[in-house]
Structure 1
Amino acid sequence: MQLADILKQGAVKILGGCTSKKRLFHDLGALAEQSYHTPAGDVIDALIEREGLGPTGVGHGIALPHARLSEVDKVHGIFLRLEKPLNFDSVDRQPVDLIFALLAPEEAGVEHLRALALVSRTMRNPDICAKLRANSDPSTLYAILTENQSSQAA
């Protein structure tokens, strides 16, 4: 599995101003509906429910919100870069500016975990994060995320 298998180019966006975690989940829901035809309301509800179990801010300015939905047929990714970092109740108490959300089918046990591990490995790479933070074009961000996977596979 590579990021290009789960992330569409149209599911990468830069947000100028996001004032709350709830607002962020609304933005993720809208992008999921636009990119993957998954109802925004269902995505928002599932992300909020999952976040209620514990924050998905993993530290170093990164959040990996994820949820399972019956409306999803395979794992889908959504990447957002925030121009202004947002308090996300992260483990290191630092605000987040890089968000990689995953939406998985309800029955996707191993596939969901493999995708989450892949995204986590990618986002732990400080060079990739620096490049993501230094660029303001969604196409470039998509290329950074997906090129890394090709070079790791080689």
Structure 2
Amino acid sequence: MEIRDLLALEAVCRQSRASSKKQLFNDIAAKAAEVYGLDPRSVFEALMDREKLGGTGMGRGVAAPHARLAGVEDIRGVFVKLDKPLDFDAADGLPVDLVFALIAPEDAGADHLRALARVSRALRDGGVCAKLRSCTEQSALHAVLSEKVQTRAA
């Protein structure tokens, strides 16, 4: 499973108005509704509920909020590059400016975990994050995220 299979070009955006996780999740839910036809309220609530279980800030300015949701047929992603970083309760205490949200079917199980692992590996790569932070266009952000990320077995 590759990121390009999870993320439509239209679901990649720069967003500068969110001043809280709640507002960001609302914007992500609206984008998921617009691009993938998902119910925005359900997406928002699922992301908020998951975040209450534990922060999804991965460190180094990256977060990967995710949730499983009834009625979703395929795993879908929304990527947001924030102009103003937000506090995401990351272990390193750094605010987040790169956010990759995943919405998965309620019964996705291992597929959801594989998708989350793929996103996590990509966003732990300092080179990928540097490229994302230097991009200003939607298509360039999508291209960086869609590139095959070389990973080494642990």
Same fold (TM over 0.5): yes
Structure 1 regions of 5+ residues with no counterpart?
Answer: none
What do the CA deviations read for 1:10-57 (whole angstroms, capped 9, x no partner)?
000001121001000001000100111001100000000000000000
The equivalent of 1:123 in structure 2 is 123
SS in 1 for 2:80: strand
Structure 2 CA distance, aligned partners of 1:43 and 1:91? Answer: 25
Structure 2 regions of 5+ residues with no counterpart?
Answer: none
Query: 1:100 is aligned with what amino acid?
Result: F
The equivalent of 1:100 in structure 2 is 100
Structure 2 CA distance, aligned partners of 1:16 and 1:137? Answer: 14
The equivalent of 2:57 in structure 1 is 57
Structure 2 CA distance, aligned partners of 1:144 and 1:78? Answer: 14
CA shift for structure 1 position 152: 3.6
Query: 2:72 is aligned with what amino acid?
Result: V
The equivalent of 1:28 in structure 2 is 28
TM-score normalized by the length of structure 2: 0.95
Q: How does 1:139-150 map to 2 (within 5 A)?
A: 139-147=139-147, 149=148
* Identity, % of aligned positions: 49
The equivalent of 2:68 in structure 1 is 68
Superposition CA RMSD, Å: 1.1
CA shift for structure 1 position 140: 0.5
Aligned length: 151
SS in 1 for 2:9: strand
* Of 95-104 and 16-25, the range deviating more from structure 2: 16-25
SS in 2 for 1:19: coil
Structure 1 CA distance, aligned partners of 2:4 and 2:113? Answer: 17
Deviant stretches of 4+, over 2 Å:
none
Structure 1 CA distance, aligned partners of 2:11 and 2:131? Answer: 18
Structure 2 CA distance, aligned partners of 1:49 and 1:95? Answer: 21
